Structure 1
């Protein structure tokens, strides 16, 4: 069975680029010498991953839960399509990040020891199987952004059954489900508070619980489910959808999201960040999906859509690209990173964007089509001989 056509949500595609750029800025911009007013916005870069999780559920609901869609998602075709979509670039990121990861392990373990080899094999097994988010000590070791792909893999595994359940929800139950999922989005913050409090019997235990609160797929699941329920509600909305209210609402939601991202969420107040941002992100996606207003029009421009299409490569490759860019800069002897760190950062990010566009065009899309065609190909019907009847 062929995979369904991609939903036409150009404004949300453009938004993906801004969210990915926010995460990139969090990782690569210099901490020293930056303006105070910019610090909180950059430090809240990880919050954009929450937006990605909600957006993922929303887009999948658009593709598979439209009005009149069958209650069952074809599991083989769906999983094949998702694997073909995410794994080639994900694998490229692991390959590019292998040198710094191996150097890091060798330095920590004092050379090529048995412990070093065991650690490389253990972390490698987790990252190549997309299970590192379930292992707190391995979640952010080898190409850190990949932890969110591990979480997404869990979502994709569940989606065929989630879709069938969500498709049966009526309007009333959908509203209650949305409210419950917004509240449940505070789970990571709650676990963080517990891990920072009475669960922390020692420093190692505290660190483990804090990593669980940050990376656990189970704790991120409400955000994805919120996107699925919201997306299903959107495709079943009344004909014509929201009008001028969507145009005003998208600007208001974007403004409120920026205001919350500019708050310096420090200390235990950090636990409130996702609880407050999650409904604002949901509101932003709903209003932008309607495609009305100046913000939606700007995000739907061809250039922004193209950047949004390449945003996955930008997101998953920027850490290894930053390592290789820094190595090249030091070998060249230019000293730009030390003499003009912000100019170096701007040049690096621009280069990352250009590389991501090239990877999307010449590697990601061809690999996705090649894998999808082969993995989703229907299996031939068994003959009498192959089935053991003869």
Structure 2
């Protein structure tokens, strides 16, 4: 009975959040991309916690979910695309202080909330806490997955944000071709497709030795660069728009493609992910229109909270509810999923958004290049 009451309150809160929230997105095809973040975040959740739960135990669905880690690469690529669409200009310049303040206001409040929850649930060394608080854990293989496991990707994003003001000058209309070549070469280097003496590099006595591992910001930078180049190409209208029906077909195909085509060659996912982003940003088919409605867009905007809180919530939920009430694996996963989605919407509406506005209010001229900045 108590669970029914909880779900009723969550449903009411979700309805309030959607009603009161007004999307900050400009149109231009980016609304549809926002919803893909929600789908990708759910894929990560399923990748972590859906083992043995119907219908995820179906071989076809299991094959799809088992590629869930690829969703993080999609986040990186999409981040580069959106930020370039928002900030790219003919001068190639951006106010670094304003830009970094805007990014800090966007990601840190809920990230810090996730760390507070995890800290209350466990015991951690001082070094571990410090690296996570300052978002440096991805630079150390030993600490990359400490405290809030998904937080490593935010550590990587911070590196992207640090680099972006120096990447931006290469995303102007005249230089974008050069940027595309550099990004392509960087992607080939990602999985050592181009032979380099990596073994020598890895043996150097560096303070941060994990330069080429799966969580390394440097190794994941090519995804961001590819996204940035795509963003510049669409910003400067160097890629034609797709007809509606073709865009819808391409969008669906590019979601399925990583499952049937990509195995261990992670860099190759940049191809279908790029096609997906272009089809949604440059098309106006049925799929694009369906994903641009109010609720899908709101869920997409709340997906960051869903992604960064899904691990802390499961740790708490497992100990506070699953064990005491001896829930089955299926009951655990679906009840947890409902709570997670509702909670993420509430956190986005009543914590994340107000906190972002509060932080940016400390500097009246904070970076506000366009309304689209809420999407990254």
- Give me the TM-score of the superposition, normalised by structure 2: 0.80
For residue 213 of structure 1, report the CA deviation from its aligned partner: 2.2
Structure 1 CA distance for aligned equivalents of residues 126 and 277 of structure 2:
40
Structure 2 CA distance for aligned equivalents of residues 72 and 200 of structure 1:
35
**Partner-residue secondary structure (3-state), 1:214:** coil
In the other structure, the counterpart of 1:44 is 67
**Partner-residue secondary structure (3-state), 2:214:** helix
In the other structure, the counterpart of 2:254 is 256
**Which residue among 115, 118, 139 is the counterpart of 1:97?**
118
Of 27-36 and 159-168, more deviation after overlay is shown by 27-36
For residue 222 of structure 1, report the CA deviation from its aligned partner: 1.1
For residue 163 of structure 1, report the CA deviation from its aligned partner: 0.6
CA-to-partner distance for each residue in 1:22-52, whole Å, 9 max, x for gaps? 1111111124772222222112111011111
Structure 2 CA distance for aligned equivalents of residues 311 and 220 of structure 1:
21
**Which residue among 334, 339, 343 is the counterpart of 2:325?**
334
**Which residue among 88, 101, 107 is the counterpart of 1:65?**
88
In the other structure, the counterpart of 1:162 is 167
Is there any run of 5+ residues in structure 2 with no aligned partner, and where?
1-23, 204-208, 367-376
In the other structure, the counterpart of 2:183 is 181
Per the alignment, do residues 154 and 253 of structure 1 end up closer, same or farther by CA in structure 2, a change over 3 Å counting?
same
**Partner-residue secondary structure (3-state), 1:336:** coil
For residue 259 of structure 1, report the CA deviation from its aligned partner: 3.2
Structure 1 CA distance for aligned equivalents of residues 317 and 261 of structure 2:
31
In the other structure, the counterpart of 1:307 is 299
- Please say if residues 136 and 212 of structure 1, whose CA atoms lie closer than 8 Å, have aligned partners that are also in contact: no
In the other structure, the counterpart of 2:19 is none
CA-to-partner distance for each residue in 1:297-329, whole Å, 9 max, x for gaps? 121111110000000000000000011111122
- Please say if residues 251 and 276 of structure 2, whose CA atoms lie closer than 8 Å, have aligned partners that are also in contact: yes
In the other structure, the counterpart of 1:10 is 31
Tell me which structure has the larger Cα radius of gyration: 1
**Which residue among 43, 66, 78 is the counterpart of 1:55?**
78
For residue 243 of structure 1, report the CA deviation from its aligned partner: 3.8
- 1:344 maps onto 2:365 in alignment: no
CA-to-partner distance for each residue in 1:196-243, whole Å, 9 max, x for gaps? 999999xxxxxx86x94210111111111111111011011169x514
What value does the CA root-mean-square deviation take over the aligned residues?
Answer: 2.9
**Partner-residue secondary structure (3-state), 2:257:** helix
**Partner-residue secondary structure (3-state), 2:148:** coil
In the other structure, the counterpart of 2:275 is 283
Structure 2 CA distance for aligned equivalents of residues 291 and 32 of structure 1:
35
**Alignment map for 1:1-390 (pairs within 5 Å):** 7-8=26-27, 9-31=30-52, 34-66=57-89, 69-102=90-123, 120-167=125-172, 169-170=174-175, 174=177, 177-178=179-180, 180-190=182-192, 212-237=212-237, 241-244=240-243, 247-262=245-260, 265=263, 270=264, 272=265, 274-330=266-322, 333-337=324-328, 341-375=329-363, 377=365
For residue 186 of structure 1, report the CA deviation from its aligned partner: 4.4
CA-to-partner distance for each residue in 1:110-143, whole Å, 9 max, x for gaps? xxxxxxxxxx111111111111111110011110
Per the alignment, do residues 200 and 133 of structure 1 end up closer, same or farther by CA in structure 2, a change over 3 Å counting?
closer
**Partner-residue secondary structure (3-state), 2:97:** helix
CA-to-partner distance for each residue in 1:153-183, whole Å, 9 max, x for gaps? 011111111111222644xx52x64355245
Structure 1 CA distance for aligned equivalents of residues 238 and 358 of structure 2:
38
Structure 1 CA distance for aligned equivalents of residues 197 and 338 of structure 2:
39
Structure 1 CA distance for aligned equivalents of residues 122 and 185 of structure 2:
37
**Partner-residue secondary structure (3-state), 2:78:** helix
- Please say if residues 51 and 281 of structure 1, whose CA atoms lie closer than 8 Å, have aligned partners that are also in contact: yes
Q: How many residues align?
A: 333
For residue 264 of structure 1, report the CA deviation from its aligned partner: 7.9
